[in-house]
Amino acid sequence: MTGTGESQNDMINWAMLTEILDTVPEATFDLLLRNVEKTSERILAELADPSVDGTQACALAHELKGMLANFSMTGAGETAYEIEEGGGALSRRQDVIPRLTREIQEGLAAVSGAARRTR
């Protein structure tokens, strides 16, 4: 369960993930998944930095939202949008980042688990 009470079924676009798993070779998928994890970590660290202004934070949140949505983690992508929607304000980021971090971790685990089950 996520911090918002949503199940993994609500957080992952399973149809999209199935399509990705059906079309992307296993080695490529694994590389992409590691890239999503590393990029998410980098962006989350930047979003947590108080020296990052609202404009920069919005751009980072937008990048994260798109990457997560394109990798079927639509719930976490929607949470990233909350930062963008809030104008990238530091207070908004501080409220959202813990939940977003948890949702990304849960999403990565769900996507990885689905990949292992289908390979």
Please, what are the domains in the chain? Answer: 8-118 (1.20.120)
What pLDDT does residue 10 have?
79
Q: Please report the pLDDT score of residue 14 as a whole number.
A: 95
Mean pLDDT of the chain: 93
Which H helix or E strand runs over 57? helix 54-70
What pTM was estimated for this model as a whole? 0.89
How is residue 71 annotated by DSSP?
Answer: T
Q: What is the pLDDT of residues 50-99, one digit of tens each?
A: 999 999 999 999 999 999 999 999 999 999 999 999 999 999 999 999 99
Of the candidates 28, 35, 113, 103, the one whose C-alpha atom is nearest the C-alpha of residue 67 is 35
CA-to-CA dists, residue 89 to 51, 58, 68, 79, angstroms: 11, 9, 21, 14
> d(Cα 34, Cα 28) in Å, to the nearest integer?
10
